[in-house]
Amino acid sequence: MRKLSQIILLLFLHSLLVVNARGQDLNIDTLSQNKDSIDNAAMEEFNRKLAAVELERKVDSLKKATLEAQLLELKTTDNLQKMDLIQQLEAIKENERKRLSDKIAQIDSLRATAKGYPVLGFKKDTLYLIYSKMGAVSPQERAINVSNKIKQLYEDDFLIDDSIRISKVEDTYDLIYKDLIIASISENDALWSGKPIEELAENSLQIIKGSIEEGREENSWLKLLSRIGLVILVVLIAWFAIGLISKGYDKLLLKFDNNKQKLLKDLSYKDYTFLSVDQETQILYFFIKFLKWFVYFLLLYITLPIIFSIFPFSRDWANTLFYLVWAPFKSLLLSIWNYLPNLFTILVTYYVMKYVIKFVKYIFQEIEAEKLVLSGFHSDWAMPTFSIVQFLLYAFMFILIFPHLPGSDSDIFKGVSVFVGVLFSLGSSSAIANMVAGLVITYMRPFKIGDRIKIDNVTGDIIEKTLLVTRVRTIKNEVITIPNSSVLTENTTNYSIEAKDKGLVVHTTVTIGYDVPWPKVHQVLIEAASRTDMIMDEPKPYVLQTSLEDFYVAYQINAYTREASKQALIYSSLHQNIQDACNESDIEILSPHYRAARDGNMSTIPAKYLPKDYQVPHFNVKFDKGNDK
């Protein structure tokens, strides 16, 4: 049993190694596709030179044979002519050595990049590689021809291995079975392998014979029966493992049900519960069930390739099945590994920029706190300017990072980027206008947070200002949001900007009849202002006569206050005091209009300010006694 389990383990490891090798070969092929054209061009140039050298060698060979024949025909007394023939033969040998040295040098330069074509055995495994042409036959055609002949020999039921032999024919060594030439080994093949031609021919012969013998052993009846037995054993082991997993799953669920109240608690923060015990239970049930089916799938995925790898004809299925899942994972892992330098570059760029921004923020915070004073740069500009600088630094960081993002050079990524940019530019024109207006307003400094202002018909205190909008809270606690573009185009009245230092002038107008002397009116209005809370004693209140109307004079009382945000209360109190002061001084406020005829009409002064014996005047009629008529 132990031996069988070791055999199964070895088969499984063999499958993994085969798949891994196949994946590596495919990855290597993929990576080398960009270089194929260059390598092919180099090989074509090498083959062209090789053909010229081969032609020159054949000419020298014929010349050498002729010279040797002439040398044999010479008499012993023809020493001078004999010496000349010997020198010519030595020159031919020297040329041959030089040609051989040049070929070796060229092959060495191409060895790292040249593509060899595999000669395949009956299991589609590579026996050896062919790099060089032979005559007009390309290396690929030679490899295919040899592979087909090996297959033909394998299918020959009457093959006698010892009948495969080596035969030297002119400049090549041929591997022959009866009348069939299996393969030819040339001098160039020997140079590519780095071995003598005789040794290469012998090695090739042994490799081919060994492949055929291995194939026959793999397909014997005894081997077939042992493989069937292994398949049955693997299935039984897998079935036993499934049973164990199912029992383990049931026991795990039972144990969890009995202890879930101890193991689980509500996941909450303050008064909010993110997950209750029941919800956590359902989630864990789902994960346990998912884990069970994942283990089932993993077991099946391991079992099937093991079964397929047992039979030679199905080993390709095992490789394919492994590759379907392993290749994406391997590709993902390789992509992550290859992306690590770019990832490190992104991280370094991010952290460097992060600390640069922290340093810049510290500088602007010092300016805002007025610890660092720059001439012509107001402290309230500090944080808005920091926001702009921060945005520019992040934009610069993104420009540095962008080329290192995965897929940044793909056409799809570029197309999506352009599409998003167009959408952003078309849909954010108003937003951009408000942002630009917000920047302009920041540096215009028309108001700050807490100021009492008036924009168009809106009066209130500034509670928030951003790049897009300005928010104002009115005296009725209404929060009004005004786009910055509207703020920029409308007139803005700021009541608070001078109130703390010089005071804000509050003013109101009353209309008094011409029958009241204006000095008295001035005195009464100033007295009313002095009684009003939150009115400054210095500078003193003053009165302006703004107009002389048909029935009355318009008097405007002006007074200073530092409480710009409490104007409503100040005006209300001021109006009350004006009424009281005018009534106390027996002054009627002629607004709205009153007729000039007062005879027979009650005074407009409230009764509490009139004498107790006050009576409504009668109509007076006067006659001119001096006129008899």
pLDDT in tens, 53-104: 666 666 666 666 676 666 666 655 566 676 776 777 777 777 777 777 777 7
- pLDDT at 12 (0 to 100): 45
Query: Is 80 exceeded by the pLDDT of residue 143?
Result: yes
Give this prediction's pTM: 0.43
| Burial group, residue 437, by CB count within 10 angstroms (0-12, 13-18, 19+) | buried
Contact call for residues 473 and 463 (beta carbons, < 8 A): yes
Alpha helix stretches (DSSP H) within 2-78: 2-31, 33-73
155-159, 211-215, 222-226, 480-484: the lowest-pLDDT one: 155-159
- Ranked by mean pLDDT, which of 30-34, 43-47, 95-99 comes out on top? 95-99
Per-residue pLDDT at 463 exceeds 50? yes
pLDDT at 137: 85
Overall size of the chain counted in residues? 629
Are the CB atoms for 581 and 528 separated by under 8 Å?
yes
Please give the mean pLDDT across all residues of the chain: 78
Q: What are the phi and psi torsion angles at 329 (to 5°)? A: -65, -45
Q: Which of 518, 500, 512, 508 is nearest to 573 (CA)?
A: 508
DSSP assignment of 424-472 equals HHHH-HHHHHHHHHHHHHHHH----TT-EEEETTEEEEEEEE-SSEEEE
Say which CATH topology domain 434-494 has: SH3 type barrels. (2.30.30)
How far is the C-alpha of 563 from the C-alpha of 579, rounded, in Å?
23
Supply the pLDDT for residue 253: 82
Q: For 599, how many CA atoms within 13 A lie in the half-sphere containing its CB?
A: 5
Label each residue of 332-369 as H, E or C: HHHHHHHHHHHHHHHHHHHHHHHHHHHHHHHHHHHHHC
Give me the pLDDT at residue 16, please.
44
Q: How confident is the model at residue 192 (pLDDT cuts 50, 70, 90)?
A: confident
Say if CB 240 and CB 287 are below 8 A apart: no
- What is the model's pLDDT at position 371? 85
Tokens 């031609």 identify what position?
Answer: 197
pLDDT at 473: 92
Give CA separation, 455 vs 240, 470, 489, 507, 565, in Å: 83, 10, 10, 20, 15
pLDDT of residue 373: 83
Out of 194-208, 265-279, 497-511, which region has the weakest mean confidence (pLDDT)?
265-279
* Range with lowest mean pLDDT among 72-76, 182-186, 340-344, 535-539: 72-76
DSSP 80-99: HHHHHHHHHHHHHHHHHHHH
- Contacts of residue 430, defined as CB under 8 A and 6 or more positions apart, other chains included, come to 483, 485
pLDDT value for 125:
78
Higher pLDDT, 570 or 592: 570
pLDDT tier for residue 521 given thresholds of 50, 70 and 90: very high
CA gap 432, 436 in Å, rounded: 6
Helix (H, G, I), strand (E, B) or coil at 77: coil
* pLDDT attached to residue 588: 82
pLDDT at residue number 355: 93
pLDDT value at 120 more than 70: yes
Q: Write down the pLDDT at residue 471.
A: 92
Q: What residues contact residue 43 under an 8 Å CB cut-off, 6+ apart?
A: 110, 114, 115
486 versus 54: the higher-pLDDT residue is 486
Q: What pLDDT sits at residue 30?
A: 44
Evaluate if residue 200 carries a pLDDT over 50: yes
By mean pLDDT, which of 32-41, 104-113, 287-296 is the weakest?
32-41
What's at 160, amino acid-wise?
A: I
The rounded percent of the chain whose pLDDT value lies above 70 is 77
Q: How many other CB atoms sit within 10 Å of the CB of residue 405?
A: 13
More confident residue, 435 or 312: 435
Q: How many CB atoms lie within 10 A of CB 143?
A: 22
Per-residue model confidence (pLDDT) at position 358: 93
CATH fold of 504-609, please? Alpha-Beta Plaits (3.30.70)
| 43 vs 385 pLDDT, higher one | 385
Domain ranges across the chain = 1-32+224-310, 36-114, 117-219, 326-412, 434-494, 504-609
